[in-house]
Amino acid sequence: MQLLQRLGRLPVLLAFPALGVLLVVFGIPIVRLFLTSLNAPEFSLANYQMFLGQPANIRVLFQTVEISAIATFVCLVIGYPTAYVMVAASKPVRMALLVLVVIPYLTSFLARTYAWIVILGDTGLINNLLLYFGLISGPLQLIFNRMAVYVGMVHIMLPMMILPLVSVMIGIDKSLMSAARSMGARPFTAFWRVFFPLSLPGVRSGSLLVFVICLGFYITPAALGGLGDAMLSTFIAAQVQTSFNVARIAAASFVLLAIAVVVLSMLGLDLSGSAPSGQIARKSWLPRPPPFGALKGKFGELPMPYRAKRWAAHLYKAGGEERWLKIVGPAFIALVMAFLLFPEIVVIIMSFSAGAFLEFPPSGLSLQWYRSFFGDPAWYMAAWTTIQIGVAVTILSTVLGTLAALGLSRAAPQARRLLTMVILTPITIPVIVVGVATYLGLIDLGLVGSQTGIVFAHTIGAMGYVAVIVSATLANFDRRLEQAAQSMRAGPLQTFMRVTLPLIRPGIIGGAIFAFVHSFDEVVITSLVSGFSVYTLPLKMWENIRNEVDPTVAAVASLLTLLPVLWMIALYLTWWRSRPQVNLSISEAKG
Amino acid sequence: MSDSSVLKKQNSLLKIWPTTHATAGATATPSGPSHLEDDRLEPSSIPAQIEFRSVTKTYGQATAVNDLSLSVRRGEFLTILGPSGSGKTTALMLLAGFVAPTKGDILIAGKSVAAVPAYRRDQGIVFQSYALFPHLTVRRNLEFPLEMRGIGAAERAKRVDSILERVHLREFDSRMPSQLSGGQQQRVALARALIADPPILLLDEPLGALDRNLREQMQGEIKSLHREFGKTTICVTHDQEEALTLSDRIVVMRAGKIEQTDTPETLYDRPMTRFVANFLGEANILEDLGFEVESDAAQPSGTVGMIRPERVCIAATGEPKRADADRRQFAIGTVDDMIYAGPLRKYNVRVGDSLLVVRQHVASGQQIFRLGDEVKLDWLRSDVRFVAT
Ligand SMILES: Nc1ncnc2c1ncn2[C@@H]1O[C@H](COP(=O)(O)OP(=O)(O)OP(=O)(O)O)[C@@H](O)[C@H]1O
Ligand SMILES: [Mg+2]
């Protein structure tokens, strides 16, 4: 009781457990890493000079930025019209499309990367098709080049571009467009002068998000690219695993971090300036807030179904110039959805292949790769380990992240902004840097190569997702309900259990699901801290993809494509189910 | 509602809560009265009385409530009235315990509540947005305060039934709050605040979200509930009509300070400041008229004359003098505007450099003045008030 009262007075304390874990596992190590990169205690730039003095490094650095920037740009060019058409669509259609975008987002990216190997490989789908039709005489070199890197990266990142765009576009007051039209603006002018500027926050957050992930995420480029397409993060990862020269790794990490920070602050600071009221929500350049962004969009959408409807009606009014949208829009959307989802189907078919090696379409059907998965302890034990880690991460990060969100929602605005930024650091900066820092942190704790270590490594990121999603729910939570409960003699604990918790439960469950997905799919950090003694499923898949390219990985991948369906059902049950009430209250307030 | 029906209701309620404060303890859960915390304010033993002692609340640079002193008698219906941002809600939240005073002290029943957290203060609160729990049915909402007091299920059901009856919501008990209309939600909120029989009732703009008709109806409801239950009630509003009809006393706040505290009648008839005179009803400030204002009383320095529009008579310039002409002051002006408002006619008359408002009850055979007409205004000198500027 005493403790509760004190917490009531200083709610920021609730964020301390999360901050403590973060500090030990990531915060202190990254500061040390920085000092090491500066050759502390002598302080020199020798490491950086050495790094930048090698032309090969400069080339990789430039290439990293180039690949990231182009991938981001392509995502934007495809994602913006997609989001636009989605938002203009009727509500059921939009919901269906959102589900189709979220499914690949929730699917193991290793499974999706593998799909592209199947599609682009020498005996893959495209080459076999072309050969079949006699269009080519020998297989084309479609994979292990820059093009394949872009195709794969755009495929992986596209949902993360579309979701923030949709969430921002849905919030745009559509009557503004009508107003512009009523003032004589032509459709395109109305779009360009009114809609586009208002959608810029979505463009910024989506682009930053994708760009920063591209910087640190080397798995897909490494799997689909050639030797000349290596990213800086690939080098860092390789160095951690082979020649552990902390100073050199540190310098490389901080060069990468510096690029991210420069880009973030160029676009990111501007972003926070344009968004009034220090909303956490607006920090949407965080890697992977799209689920939350979409969620937020969904909430934001509720109060204005009427306006949106009117707007959509207006948009589709059989006016001459707008008719093109009716044909081109759906066709374009269909293409994008095919690009997003087709690889998953390919993987599922591949998993029933009877051949002994990668070949598509398969020459016969069999269950051999499923048998190989369930018959090989290395595989199913890896799956079991991953589930164990995932459950532990989910519990730990849900508790820590929820407490942090509760504490931050009650803290003073400045403290809230600062601490939110701190808690979200692990999911805001290139993941390879987080991996290196966490690796050092776990060495100090003696936890490298242990499941506990991996749990902590995953938790620092996962609790960020939980904190973001729960914060979004709390932003919609009326604090007066708590006051009402207290005025009825409910103590702090009773108030929380009886009022706060039931009302923010959808957010907590959503956060827990994303925490699990994060842990279940993590490979970059895991590969650094596993110390080759713990094998998780993604690690095993990664190894398999790199070395044998044995279709067992297809069986695993197709099993993994089933998971998002489970997540969607879980999300449906927690989020959609709580919706009718909200809708009713709106129609009630209107009537 | 007629008096006899009120009495009947009262009797039936009395049966349910015979000596309510005593039953609250007696019907408590097995753990019994010891379950109640020590610092609980025992409602039966000490008369509820609220006292603000020089309470100040600042948010950074801004002062929301400034040196507020106020005491509320037991059973009184006190309204806090003031423009937006004047600190009304803050004052209420200070009392409820959701906001801690920066300076000063608040006493309830003679005891400082500085150390008493909100959930031990035992006050029924109706929030502006009602704050009904959206995840609980009407019945579960109403049971909540009883559960928190450890009252058994049977007794809870009985009390909920009776209060639902009282607020005419019997059939609605299994609805969710979102399935109720604004007025129904408001009644549930009132019922929830009353059901556990707290000695003090706090209402924060309880009728703010309702339309005019419903608001008048609910005013009657609140008034009769207050008569029945006799709870010390503090109500925040910026609706002056609501304040005038409901309250025993009204506190007018301005920029965090109390401007005047009085009964509705005194406040309207003898406002002490220009702000109060203007805020509560309409006021003619007698300045820049081109002549000195006469009054029976001497004019204190730093004040200005004021007269209510309904105290001013309007007549044609040629009309003969009245019998009490020697007790009246006259002014000649021109009609600037006329507004017809059903039973009333409102004239704006330019006298000297200022506009005076005159309110005339419509009667047959009355002369109607047009724009630009020259008219004679007159009023009793004893009706002139002096208000601080
Ligand atoms: N939590 C807060 N932080 C900073 N300033 C606040 C806070 N709460 C209230 N204030 C300020 O204190 C002043 C009084 O606010 P309060 O809510 O008491 O006004 P009010 O009289 O209830 O107004 P209204 O009629 O609009 O509800 C306002 O200027 C407000 O901006
Ligand atoms: Mg208020």
**pLDDT 10s digits, A377-422:** 988 999 999 999 999 999 999 999 999 999 998 888 888 889 988 9
| Cα torsion angle, B323, B327, B333, B334, sign | negative
- Mean pLDDT is highest, among A152-156, A187-191, A301-305, B58-62, for A152-156
Q: B6 to chain A, minimum CA–CA distance in Å?
A: 27
Q: What confidence score (pLDDT) does residue A310 get?
A: 44
- Give residue A7's pLDDT: 60
The Cα of B69 is separated from the nearest Cα of chain A by a number of Å equal to: 23
Residue A215 included in any domain = no
- The CATH class of the B283-388 domain is mainly beta
Q: Which residue of A has its CA nearest to B180?
A: A588
**pLDDT higher for A303 or A159?**
A159
In a domain, A252, yes or no: no
To test the contact with chain B by mutation, choose from A7, A481, A487 the residue with the greatest count of B C-beta atoms within 10 A, namely: A487
Indicate the length of chain A as a whole number: 591
Closest C-alpha among A462, A470, A468, A480 to residue A395? A462
Confidence of residue B2 (pLDDT cuts 50, 70, 90): very low
> In 10 A of CB A580, how many CB atoms?
12
How many whole angstroms separate alpha carbon B240 and alpha carbon B83? 10
Confidence of residue A311 (pLDDT cuts 50, 70, 90): very low
Note whether residue A306 is domain-resident: no
Residue spans of beta strands (DSSP E) within A223-340 = none
Q: Is the per-residue pLDDT at B125 higher than 70? A: yes
Instruction: Give the mean model confidence (pLDDT) for residues B8-30.
Output: 38
Taking contacts as CB-CB distances below 8 angstroms, the residues of chain B near A490 are 119, 144, 148
Q: What pLDDT does residue B300 have?
A: 87
* A110, part of any domain: no
Q: What percent of chain B has pLDDT over 90?
A: 47
The region, left, alpha or beta by phi > 0 then psi within -120 to 50, assigned to residue B178 is alpha
Q: Is the pLDDT of residue B373 over 50?
A: yes
Q: What is the pLDDT of residue B56?
A: 95
The answer to whether A488 touches A454, Cβ cutoff 8 Å, is no
Tell me whether residue A80 is in a domain.
no
Question: pLDDT confidence of B18, banded at 50, 70, 90?
Answer: very low
**Cα(B81) to centroid of ligand 1, in Å?**
14
| pLDDT at residue number A4 | 59
CA-to-CA dists, residue B147 to A5, A198, A455, angstroms: 21, 49, 41
Domain assignment of residue A148, yes or no: no
Query: What whole-number distance in Å separates Cα of residue A569 and Cα of residue A102?
Result: 12
Size of interface A-B (CB pairs under 8 A): 80
Instruction: Decide if A489 and B119 are in contact by the 8 Å CB cutoff.
Output: yes
Q: What pLDDT sits at residue B1?
A: 41
- pLDDT at A568 > cutoff 90: no
Contact (CB, 8 A) for A224 and A143? yes
Nearest CA to ligand 1 atom 11: B64
Distant-in-sequence, close-in-space partners of B362: CB < 8 Å, separation ≥ 6: B342, B343, B344, B345
Residue of A nearest to B175 (CA): A581
Residue B171: what pLDDT?
92
Q: The whole model's pTM is what?
A: 0.78
> Distance, CA B84 to ligand 2 centroid (Å)?
7
Nearest CA to ligand 1 atom 18: B87
CB contact under 8 A, A503 and B124: no
Ligand 1 centroid distance, CA of A493 (Å): 28
- The tokens for A515 are 């925490």
**Any domain includes A66:** no
Q: Ligand 1 pocket: which residues have CB below 6 Å?
A: B 59, 62, 64, 82, 84-90, 238
CA nearest to A6 within chain B: B117
B23-39, pLDDT tens digit by residue?
Answer: 333 333 333 333 333 34
- At residue A295, the pLDDT reads 40
**Ligand in nearest proximity to the CA of B95:** 1
| Ligand number with the minimum distance to the CA of B204 | 2
Chain B residue nearest residue A478, CA to CA: B131
For residue A510, give its domain range.
Answer: 1-44+369-534
Atom of ligand 1 nearest to the CA of B86: 21
Closest partner CB to A487 (pick from B118, B129, B133):
B118
Ramachandran assignment for B19, one of left (phi > 0), alpha (psi -120 to 50 degrees), beta (any other): beta
Whether the pLDDT of residue B285 is over 50: the answer is yes
Statement: residue A292 has pLDDT above 70? no
pLDDT mean over A476-489: 90
Give me the pLDDT at residue B247, please: 92
Average pLDDT, chain A: 82
What's the confidence (pLDDT) of residue B4?
44
- Centre of ligand 2 to C-alpha B89, Å, is 4
| Partner residue opposite B135 with nearest CB, options A487, A491, A502 | A502
Quick one: closest CA in A to B192, which residue? A488
Query: Looking at residue B25, what is its pLDDT?
Result: 36
Distance from residue B71's CA to the centre of ligand 1 (Å) = 22
- Is residue A590 scored above 60 in pLDDT? no
Same fold, B3-267 and B283-388: no
Residue A147: predicted pLDDT: 92
* Distance from residue A488's CA to the centre of ligand 1 (Å): 24
% pLDDT > 90, chain A? 35
3-class SS at A248?
helix
Of B52, B56, B59, best ligand 1 pocket probe by most atoms within 8 Å of the beta carbon: B59
Domain ranges of chain B: 3-267, 283-388
Rounded Cα distance between B336 and A253, Å, is 79
Question: Is the previous residue joined to B33 through a cis bond, with omega within 30 degrees of 0?
Answer: no
Residue with tokens 């400069």: A58
Residues in chain B: 389
| Tokens (6 digits) for A182 | 């009523």
B3-267 CATH, one of 1.10.132.20, 3.30.9.10, 3.40.190.290, 3.40.50.300: 3.40.50.300
Ligand nearest the Cα of residue B59 is 1
Q: What CATH number does the domain containing A400 carry? A: 1.10.3720.10
With a cut of 0.85, is the ipTM above it? no
Residue B189 has pLDDT above 90, yes or no: yes
- Cis peptide bond N-terminal to A41, omega within 30: yes
Q: What distance in Å separates the CA atoms of residue A143 and residue A150, rounded to the nearest whole number? A: 11
pLDDT over threshold 90, residue B92: yes
| Residue A94 Cα, gap to closest chain B Cα (Å) | 26
**Is residue B356 scored above 70 in pLDDT?**
yes
Q: Does the pLDDT of residue A306 top 50, yes or no?
A: no
Look up residue A357 and give its amino acid: F
Reported as a pLDDT band with limits 50, 70 and 90, residue A268 is low
Q: Where are the alpha helices (DSSP H) in A137-230?
A: 146-171, 175-182, 187-190, 196-216, 219-224
* Cα dihedral A289, A291, A292, A294 sign: positive
Nearest CA distance, B84 vs chain A (angstrom): 19
Please give the angle made by the CA atoms of B363, B366 and B368, to the nearest 5 degrees. Answer: 120
In a domain, A579, yes or no: no
Which residue is listed with tokens 């409102």? Answer: B346
The phi, psi pair for B205, rounded to 5°, reads 40, 60
Lowest mean pLDDT of A4-18, A323-337, A512-526, B357-371, name the range.
A4-18
pLDDT value of residue A563? 83
Q: What is the pLDDT of residue B5?
A: 44
Q: Which residue has the higher pLDDT, A8 or B219?
A: B219
Distance A171 CA to ligand 2 centre (A): 28
Tally of domains in chain A: 1
Q: Which of A488, A499, A585 sits opposite B178 (nearest CB)?
A: A585
Question: pLDDT value at position B8?
Answer: 42
H-helix segments, A323-376: 323-350, 368-375
In this prediction, residue A576 has a pLDDT band, given cuts at 50, 70 and 90, of low
Chain A contact set for B181 (CB, 8 A):
588
Q: Specify the range with the lowest mean pLDDT, choosing from A349-358, A409-418, B366-375.
A: A349-358
* Position with higher pLDDT, B32 vs B289: B289
Q: Cβ of B119 and A585 within 8 Å?
A: no
Bigger pLDDT: A418 vs A327: A418
| pLDDT (0 to 100) of residue A322 | 59
Q: Which neighbouring-strand residues pair with B249?
A: B78
Mean of pLDDT values over B322-337: 87
Q: Which residues are B80's β-sheet partners?
A: B236, B251
Q: How far is B195 from chain A (nearest CA, A)?
A: 10
